[in-house]
Structure 1
Amino acid sequence: MGDVQIQSLIENYLDAYNSFDIEGMIRLLHDDIEFRNVHNGVVDTETKGIEHFRALAEQSLTIFSQRCQTMKKITITGDKAEIEVDYEGVLAVDLPNGMKAGESLKLTGRSIFLVQDDKLRVIEDYS
């Protein structure tokens, strides 16, 4: 898969993510998808396999009323891509950390994607 196709795959994933389109996200994922969220150097969420990813994605529908990841920069090397992202979300529920429904969350971070068989095989989010 060439650089243009990899960038398009990631852009399509982000579009589906931003519009809460779980089926659109799933269509772009390898059956053996591995997902990790790393916050302050600690893995706080991890899934393996498409059904576990789907369950996490469905759970996140209840947490945010709005969300948007914006890609600022992409670097592609072979079948691996790293993007810099701005993330904004509006909470739909109160969180255990004290944040309340309606509050906005803004983060900057990066994501790493590994492509296999023209699908996203690994997604790692760092914030």
Structure 2
Amino acid sequence: MISEKSKEIIENYIKAYNAFDINTMVSLLHKEILFRNFSNGEINTETKGIQEFRELAEKSSKVFSSRCQTVMDYSVVDKKITVQIDYAAILAVDLPTGLKSGDKIQLKGKSVFEISEGKISLIEDYS
């Protein structure tokens, strides 16, 4: 069972993410935040610490004109909270993959969070 405090922290983070509010996102992170992004089972991005995370968040925010993570479900195993996510975004730039500015991306994925000392210390995104 997820604690109300942990749920509130995660929901505030997702709300800030959707609003491109990087300062609020970072304020919810532990100074030793570890972020990893997995796509098709492979890790393609990793940051350690708030500064690296902030740099990635700022760069990523320029890629999308809008983005929205919607929480579908929560589960907890040990100290890790898994959040099932529906994701939708509209690109602001052309990507090397062939996707163009204005294209809409929709996918289902999950994010795994760990909370330490009242802050998010781990985020792993899977799509």
Q: Same-fold call, TM > 0.5? A: yes
Using the size of structure 2 for normalisation, the TM-score is 0.96
Using the size of structure 1 for normalisation, the TM-score is 0.96
Distance 2:54 2:4 in 1: 27
How do 1:1-127 residues align onto structure 2 when only pairs under 5 Å count?
3-127=3-127
Matched pairs, number: 126
Root-mean-square deviation (CA, aligned residues, Å) is: 1.0
**SS of the residue aligned with 1:121?**
strand
4+ residue stretches of structure 1 with deviation over 4 A? none
Distance 2:76 2:41 in 1: 23
Aligned 8 A contact 1:3 1:76 in 2: no
Aligned 8 A contact 1:76 1:82 in 2: yes
User: Which AA in structure 1 matches 2:110?
Assistant: R
Which ranges of structure 1 fall in alignment gaps of 5 or more residues? Answer: none
Identity of aligned residues (%): 48
Name whichever of 28-37 and 76-85 sits farther off.
Answer: 76-85
Distance 1:87 1:32 in 2: 26
User: Which AA in structure 1 matches 2:18?
Assistant: N
**SS of the residue aligned with 2:99?**
coil
Distance 2:77 2:15 in 1: 22
Deviation at 1:75, TM superposition (A): 1.1
